Amino acid sequence: MPARHTVPSAAAPTGGGRTSVVVRAADPISRAGAEAQLRRHPGLELAAEDAAGAPGVVTVLLAESADAAVVATLRRLVRGADQRVVLVVERMREAELLEAVECGVAAILWRREATAERLGRAVLAAARGEGDLPADLLGRLITQVGRLQRSVQGQPGHAPSGLSERESDVLRLVAEGWDTGEIAARLSYSERTVKNVLHGLTTRLQLRNRAHAVAHAVREGYI
């Protein structure tokens, strides 16, 4: 199941309900291809490249991998809670995955899966303050941060204080790939309650999004 997260955001669509999106790529052919895909989605409108990183504008960044130069670009683009980036990559090592998540990427897609429908869905999710990782990447993320947490704390399963029982329950299901509606049904909460729990958690701990929250929770031994 693809991983999705839901965190309320001030970012809002522009231009008659459409979301503004900028494409950045190292070569013009890749950029033109992504823009052609995005133009097919009625909920999106392309913006000038200098709008990248502006509040309410989603940036699609295409790269072969999340190398040091791409990570540096991500850090420039994601400077605050309202900046949204969808990273589309050909390949990604575990260390690059963790660094990209901690930069605040809203969504990561494999290039081979970035169809017009899939890319458009990721952009709209990012604009709403949601996002997603492919299931295989989420599994790698959880494995990696869990390994880091165990190496630091020595004993897995010893969770320090810091999260409420409700927050831990919600994050555990987030880590398993459940979406907001599924989490609400599983815990007998309303979807608004689940969104409020995630929003409060990410705000209090200064986390960027769902993936960053999962990474932080596993690294600190909360889940």
Output the CA torsion sign for 67, 72, 78, 80: positive
Q: Which one has a higher pLDDT value, 137 or 120?
A: 120
b/e sequence 166-176, b meaning 16+ C-beta within 10 Å: ebbbbbbbbbb
- How much is the pLDDT for 25? 92
Q: What is the pLDDT of residues 144-201, one digit of tens each?
A: 655 555 554 544 444 444 677 788 888 888 877 788 888 889 888 888 888 888 877 7
Nearest C-alpha neighbor of 97 from the set 36, 29, 54, 144? 144
- How much is the pLDDT for 4? 41
Q: What is the pLDDT of residues 59-103, one digit of tens each?
A: 999 999 888 888 888 888 887 656 789 999 999 887 788 778 777
Q: What whole-number percentage of the chain has pLDDT above 90? A: 18
pTM, entire model:
0.61
The 3-state DSSP class for residue 14 equals strand
- How much is the pLDDT for 119? 92
